């Protein structure tokens, strides 16, 4: 009953700011807005959203959408504990440092220290996602940068006080460095994926009974 009351109190707090976040999440993760809303008001870290909206609040708000283990219903429980849970996708709020990341990360980033209101949320908050299937963070980050962020930067016409935009040498150096970083990221990922995992061998059986030089030769 207490959980139900808490959820309804949170549902009553939802305003235009929350609805903006919910709509972005629903579009990006391919869930309905009702499903996203239910996940948010059921989350024990719901208060992080308010901390993100206040002046000089949290700089980022993270959501993971990935498989977690869910207990089966009592009717289907078996004696074997290993079969009592099933992977099920769940959307939840996170600080990004306490849960293993194995699926999709959706993030909101503040662009200033202003209070976030229903009228300015679309201007003051940026939304992005990256997908890391099976926890392959390097692959997800590489795709996000190479296919989304860098193309967006290279097509951007307005660079604020830099009137010459993409023709500016500092902007060109920045984009070159970004491309180089993605190349390094790709190379690192490929090296990790192509690694050779050596089989661990218990050498005690080979060295425990060595008595003379011929035993050492045999062991070698």
Residue 49 has pLDDT above 70, yes or no: yes
Percent of the chain scoring above 70 in pLDDT: 93
Average pLDDT score over residue span 171-196: 90
Does residue 56 come out as left (phi exceeding 0), alpha (psi in the -120 to 50 range) or beta? Answer: left
Whether the predicted pLDDT of 72 surpasses 70: no
* Rounded Cα distance, 103 and 132, in Å: 5
Q: Check whether 114 has a pLDDT greater than 80.
A: yes
Q: Please state the rounded mean pLDDT for residues 6-34.
A: 94
Render the burial of 150-185: b for 16+ CB within 10 Å, e for the rest: beeeeeeeebeeeeeeeeeeebeeeeeebeeebeeb
pLDDT, position 79? 47
Given a cut of 70, is residue 73 above it in pLDDT?
no
Average pLDDT on 161-184 reads 93
Give the residue from 147, 128, 104, 182 showing the smallest Cα distance to 155: 147
**Above 70 in pLDDT, residue 80?**
no
């Amino acid at each position: 009953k207490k959980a139900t009351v808490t959820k309804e109190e949170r549902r009553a707090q939802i305003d235009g700011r929350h609805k903006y976040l919910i709509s972005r999440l629903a579009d990006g993760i391919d869930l309905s807005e009702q499903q996203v809303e239910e996940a948010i008001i059921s989350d024990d870290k719901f208060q992080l959203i308010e901390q993100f909206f206040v002046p000089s609040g949290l700089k980022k708000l993270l959501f993971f959408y990935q498989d977690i283990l869910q207990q089966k219903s009592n009717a289907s429980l078996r004696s074997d504990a290993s079969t009592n849970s099933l992977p099920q996708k769940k959307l939840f709020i996170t600080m990004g440092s306490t849960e293993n990341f194995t699926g999709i990360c959706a993030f909101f980033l503040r662009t200033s220290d202003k209070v976030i209101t229903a009228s300015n949320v679309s201007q003051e908050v940026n939304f992005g996602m990256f997908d890391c299937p099976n926890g392959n963070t390097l692959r997800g980050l590489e795709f996000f940068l190479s296919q989304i962020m860098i193309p967006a930067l290279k097509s951007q016409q307005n660079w604020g006080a830099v009137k010459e935009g993409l023709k500016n040498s500092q902007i060109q150096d920045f984009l070159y460095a970004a491309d180089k970083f993605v190349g390094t990221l790709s190379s690192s990922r490929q090296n990790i994926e192509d690694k050779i995992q050596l089989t661990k061998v218990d050498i005690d059986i080979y060295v425990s009974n060595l008595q003379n030089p011929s035993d050492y030769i045999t062991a070698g």
